[in-house]
Chains A and B, each alone.
Chain A
Amino acid sequence: MSIRVLYGLVVVALTVAAAACDESLSDLTGPTPNLEPTLSSIQHEIFDTTDSSGRLACVTCHAPIGGRAAAAGMNLTAGNSYAALVGVSSIERPGVLRVVAGDPENSYLIHKLEGRPSIVGVRMPRGTGPFLTDGQILVIKRWIETGARND
């Protein structure tokens, strides 16, 4: 085998190997390594579960428990969260939708999770944190961006 052929093969092999080295989603999502941009995954990893960082599950407040209404009238329990979020107007800021399918930047859910200045009330999850990590919020944004499907 000539050195030129060997050189070409090495270059192609390295390129193919590097092309297979996409970033791992689990590296980005920190305390919820199984989080994926689907509603079922977000439901399980974010809404229903307090993660290893100590970030509270959303259903701690956003669920009708013991005769108490879900906070902000937003029931995030499994089977109810989609109807409570997508295309539904916020109570805090009427006219602003909680989730605008395909548009995470204009979705009030994201504003609340990021604690933007435009929100009414406090950043979520309520309290002093831990809040969702940037990676976790990116996954939720991606779910919204790809259509906020009930998947």
Chain B
Amino acid sequence: MTVSTFFTGAPRRRVLVFPVTFSVAVAAVVAVVALLMPAPALAQEDDPDRDLRLAQPDFTVITLPTTLRLPKFRSAFRVTHRFGRPLGAGDFGDLLEDFFGLDSGAQIGLEYRFGIFRGAQIGIHRTSDKTIEFFSQYSVLQQKDNGVIGLDAVATIEGTNNFKDSYTPSLGIVVSRELGEVGAIYVNPRWVNNSNPLPSELTDDNDTFFLGLGARIRIRPTVYVVGEFIPRVGYEPGVNHGTFGIEKRAGGHTFQLNFSNGFGTTMGQVARGGTASDDWYLGFSISRKFF
């Protein structure tokens, strides 16, 4: 199966459009396995978690999690790209020559999440710098029940060098406020332990506490603008992570084009901040719900 057929659902005989990396192929196989899982019982077909929520169409804003619930035994996949060319380098002609950074290398992330029971999801996110993050999220409150906010508890553990070095756990909550069907705003306070990759004997701060702020606003029936800003205290190298973008929802897919001041997509990477305040990078994310 090619990436193109995987995302479009077109017949498998479709001609290969662009090369498939090994890691993409592995992720595709995982996703296919999930698709081939036994059909849920009829009662689960009525699961309200399967309904489209216009204010929260996806499980992440850009980097931060939303409070969208993943139905039990269902899954979702996401691929992220953060291209390495600073958009401000050179003049516009240089930028055009590099096709806005797409000719440069990118930090690529592959993510797969699965609903283990109602309101709870677990997942894995691997980035091409060999960081692997395992994450878990539990829906504590839903706005549709209390009329005020949604609240999730979130935890992650990531390790560099394919989860062999420098382990960085994080704990936090996600508070969401849906604005009717217009969108949603998010506050994600989070403690990230061991965000400094140096031994504690060589550091003043080994932890980061950040306050993730995010928003998704629907500007057209299926088009949203999204943004995040993540101020930090504690170990805080680089600059505070900032990113914004535009996205299009198409059925179970979400296509997002974003601009960021760093490459981070895991919580440890976000805690370590962006690269420099005047460097911005093009990126995109594509997500797919398997329900």
B171 interface hit (Cβ, 8 Å): yes
Report whether B120 and A25 are in contact in the complex, using a CB–CB cutoff of 8 Å: no
Q: Are A7 and B138 also in contact (CB < 8 A) when A18-B169, A19-B169, A21-B167 are?
A: yes
Give which listed residue, A4, A11, A14, A25, contacts B199 with CB less than 8 A.
A25
The answer on a CB contact under 8 Å between B199 and A28 is: yes
Known pairs A23-B199, A138-B198, A142-B202. 6 more at Cβ < 8 A? A15-B170, A19-B169, A22-B199, A23-B200, A28-B199, A138-B202
A3 and B201 alpha carbons, distance in the complex (Å): 39
Among all A-B residue pairs, the 10 with the closest Cβ atoms: A18-B169, A25-B199, A21-B167, A15-B169, A19-B193, A23-B199, A142-B202, A18-B167, A18-B157, A11-B155
Q: How far is the CB of A18 from chain B (nearest CB, A)?
A: 4
**Interface residues, chain B, CB within 8 Å of chain A?**
116-117, 120, 136, 138, 155, 157, 165-171, 193-194, 197-202, 206
> Contact between B155 and A23 (Cβ–Cβ < 8 Å)?
no
Chain A residues with CB under 8 Å of B197's CB are 23
List, in ascending order, chain A residues with CB within 8 A of B157's CB. Answer: 14-15, 18
* In the complex, chain B residues whose CB is within 8 Å of the CB of A24: 199
Residues of A within 8 A of B193 (CB): 15, 18-19
A142 to B201: give the CA distance in the assembly, Å: 8
The interface residues of chain B lying within 8 Å CB-to-CB of A139 are 202
Closest CB of chain A to B68's CB: distance in Å?
19
Known contacts A8-B138, A36-B201; is A23 also within 8 Å of B120 by CB?
A: no
Q: Is the CB of B155 within 8 A of A15?
A: yes
A11 touches B201 (CB 8 A): no
**Can you show 19 pairs from A to B with CB atoms below 8 A apart?**
A3-B117, A4-B120, A4-B138, A7-B117, A11-B138, A14-B169, A15-B193, A18-B157, A18-B169, A18-B194, A21-B167, A23-B194, A23-B199, A24-B199, A28-B199, A28-B202, A36-B201, A138-B198, A138-B202
Question: What mask results when residues 1 to 38 of chain A are scored 1 for a CB within 8 Å of chain B, else 0?
Answer: 00110011001101100110111110110000000110
Query: Chain B nearest CB: distance from A107 CB in Å?
Result: 16
- Asked whether B117 lies within 8 Å of A4 as measured between CB atoms, the reply is yes
Chain A residues whose C-beta falls within 8 Å of the C-beta of B155 in the assembled complex: 11-12, 14-15
A15 touches B171 (CB 8 A): yes
Instruction: Write out the residue numbers on chain B whose beta carbons fall within 8 Å of the beta carbon of A142.
Output: 201-202
Q: Which residues of B contact A36 (CB under 8 A)?
A: 201
Q: Which residues of A have CB within 8 Å of B136?
A: 7, 11
CB-based contact A23/B166 at 8 Å: yes
List the B residue with the shortest CB-CB distance to A23.
B199
| Residue of A with least CB distance to B198 | A23
Give complex CA distance A12, B200 in Å: 22
Distance A139 CA – B200 CA, assembled complex (angstroms): 11
Q: Note all chain A residues with C-beta closer than 8 A to B170.
A: 15
* B120, B165, B198, B202: the one within 8 Å of A7 (CB): B120
A22 partner, pick from B116, B117, B138, B206, beta carbons under 8 A: B206
Report B-chain residues with C-beta under 8 Å of the C-beta of A22.
194, 199-200, 206
